């Protein structure tokens, strides 16, 4: 059975910066969790960040530009925390490689997990098209990344592959 990587906060784990979760109610997700298909990851906490922690956003860049050193992830008070984010992305990738995971469902808009949108670095709630650091690294290695709003697409993918 092909495993699917999932953001820990989407499974109800209180690992977000504000010590909350994003629990997603979805029959398919519940079924996959019950059959042991899901592999939970929180790149930020796995990299050593605390719960709770200050909000962070990518400043003037994208996940890929953080990975190549052209942009940083900053906390709301201005501290640079890029190293945590790149380490967390590497941990997620290592998990995928170890378990032969080719598909991920990650929490939208996060500076780590966002796959279609991220916040713009101004801490004003403004979202822009883009992806977080973990989503970017996984995609660079051929892993298909979806958000919690695209679970039906993941379902089709897995059913089509008969996995
Ligand atoms: S890093 Fe990803 S898994 Fe962890 S709290 Fe943020 S969105 Fe959720």
Query: What is the tens place of the pLDDT at every residue in 19-46?
Result: 999 978 889 999 999 999 999 999 999 9
Q: What is the mean pLDDT of the chain?
A: 96
Structure confidence at residue 161 (pLDDT): 79
Quote the tokens at residue 31. 């079924």
Q: What pLDDT was estimated at residue 25?
A: 85
Model pLDDT for residues 72-104, shown as the tens digit of each residue: 999 998 899 999 999 999 999 999 999 999 999
| Residues with a CB atom less than 6 Å from ligand 1 | 7-9, 15-16, 42-45, 107, 110, 112-113
Q: Give per-residue pLDDT as tens, 133-158.
A: 999 999 999 999 999 999 999 999 88
Domain count, the chain: 1
Q: How far apart are CA 39 and CA 56, in angstroms?
A: 24
Taking the C-alpha atoms of residue 136 and residue 141, their distance in angstroms, rounded to an integer, is: 9
Instruction: Extract the tokens encoding 142.
Output: 């051929």
Given CA atoms 132, 137, 138, 141 in this order, what sign does their dihedral have? positive
Domain that holds residue 104: 4-161
The pLDDT value recorded for residue 77 is 85
Burial 58-72 (b: 16+ CB within 10 A, else e): bbebbbbbbbeeebb
Q: Whose CA is nearest to atom 8 of ligand 1?
A: 9
Separation of 159 CA from ligand 1 center, angstroms? 27
* pTM beyond 0.85: yes
128 upstream amide cis, omega within 30 of 0: no
């Amino acid at each position: 059975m092909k495993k699917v990587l999932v953001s820990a906060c989407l499974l109800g784990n209180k690992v977000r910066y504000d010590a909350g979760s994003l629990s997603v109610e979805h029959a398919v997700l519940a079924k996959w969790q019950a059959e042991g298909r899901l592999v939970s990851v929180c790149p930020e906490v796995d990299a050593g960040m605390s719960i709770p922690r200050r909000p962070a956003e990518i400043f003037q860049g994208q996940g890929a530009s953080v990975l190549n050193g052209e942009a940083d992830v900053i906390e709301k008070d201005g501290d640079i925390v890029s190293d945590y984010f790149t380490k967390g992305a590497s941990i997620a990738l290592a998990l995928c490689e170890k378990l032969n995971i080719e598909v991920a469902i990650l929490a939208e808009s996060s500076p780590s997990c966002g796959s279609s949108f991220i916040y713009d670095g101004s801490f004003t709630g403004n979202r822009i098209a883009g992806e977080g650091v973990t989503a970017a690294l996984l995609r660079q290695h051929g892993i298909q990344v979806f958000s919690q709003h695209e679970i039906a697409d993941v379902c089709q993918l897995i059913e089509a592959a008969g996995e």
